[in-house]
Structure 1
Amino acid sequence: MSTYKSLTDLEIFVLMQEGDKFAFEEIYERFNGLLYIYACKMVSNREDARDIVQEIFVYLWSNPNIQIKTQLSSYLYTAVRYKVFDWLDKNKSRSNYLQSLTDFAEKGDYVTDNYIREREFASLIEKEVSLLPPKMRLIFEMSRQQHLTQKQIAEILQLSDKTVKKQMSNALKVLRLKLTSFLLLAVIVLIR
């Protein structure tokens, strides 16, 4: 339907939540290919990548009460990333994933598209956040993903404002250190 093509992602998403099948089909058309390419970058098996993306769309259609606080595209890319991490955990193939990244870097098959690099960096950040200690990670995610203030987080978790502030500060220090190392490594690889 050509009328759907002119709608924004948010408008089409609202129609889909109201049960509009054509709106869902438009979302599928807009994002299926991009999400599949994104999943293929993280999963070597194309069928697995296709299954991961299909699971995201099934979930999207089956749960009309999803609340999206960012853009629809950000939500979908994040959903794919989390689904890939689940897949990696289930298949115990992290070493294969790391090997494929190593092969990718050694072959010099660099992707110059800024959008893809930005997404990969966002994925790295998500991975590093997932490695934070549980309490620190929870506070960090409440602040960055749910956009809660330190005071709100302190009230919800029944902690002092000072504790929340210290945990946030520690999380940012850890992430800065790890991500700085990654960026230095990336620059060294690019210089070669």
Structure 2
Amino acid sequence: MYNYKALTDNELFSLIQSGDKYAFEEIYDRFNGLLYIYACKLVSDREDARDIVQEIFVYLWSNPNIKIKSQLSSYLYTAVRYKVFDWLDKNKSKSNYLLSLGNFIEQGNCITEDYIREREFASIIEKEVSLLPAKMRQIFEMSRQQHLSQKEIAEILHLSDKTVKKQMSNALKVLRLKLTSFISLAVILLLR
């Protein structure tokens, strides 16, 4: 049986690699408090600092093939520093995700409400267009949905350009009159 307190860190580390639990406990006792203080200087949350140090010890115990080129203490402090970098990286990603989620929640409702209003408005416009007189509706739809010019519409329907222009003008007047009240109501609702 060894006197573990009398052994050097590197001797204890060699014993840990062969599975000596008492050597691990001695290393844990020697470094746990110091590594925790070091982690607390790098991370603001004490629980996170404790978790980081625990992960280092778990890794040390569960990986018997670790190669240490200098002192065990240097290895442990460096491991804590790198673990803190990983922790900061994960928390940055988490806070970026939370910020993004917060923005979506904040703006998502507006986007959804805007989309619903837009769909309702489009539905009202379609309804009003369907109520136009047949020839006027046909000309309006050819212009707005098929994106045909007045000249093209006149040629297809065998009408004069002037007639097509007059029918479009009348359709827009009728729609503007009927939709003005809806737009006014929508603006009032938006300003609330």
- Output the TM-score relative to the length of structure 2: 0.47
Q: TM-score if structure 1 supplies the norm length?
A: 0.47
Give 1 or 2 for the bigger CA radius of gyration. 2
Structure having the higher helix fraction is 2
